[in-house]
Amino acid sequence: MPTDEEVVETAAEAAEGLVLDRLRTSDVDDLDITVTFEDGVLDVDIYVRAPDADADVEQVADDGALAAQAAVDDLFADE
C-alpha cells in the first residue's frame, strides 16, 4: 500500500510532467500544482498562467489533473 506521501508525489510529478510537455516552459509565467490525499480522496488543483501559449491552457490544466489521477491509479494497481 503506497504511503500518502508517495501518492502526493506521484500525482504532482505526473501533473507537472503533462503540463510542461504540452506547454513551452518559456510560455509559462506561473505554475502551481497542489495535491492532497486524505482519507483515500485525491484532490489535484492546477493553476497555470501562460498568456502567450498557443495551447488551451485550461484544457492542459484539466488534462494534468487527469494524468495525476491515472498515475495514482497505476500506483495502487501495482501494489
Q: Regarding the domain delimited by 4-78, which CATH topology (the fold level of the hierarchy) does it fall under?
A: GMP Synthetase; Chain A, domain 3 (3.30.300)
Whether 13 shows a pLDDT value over 90: the answer reads yes
List residues bridging with 43 in a β-sheet: 36
In the chain, where are the structural domains located?
Answer: 4-78
In this prediction the pTM is 0.93
Q: pLDDT tens across 29-78, in order?
A: 999 999 999 999 999 999 999 999 999 999 999 999 999 999 999 999 98
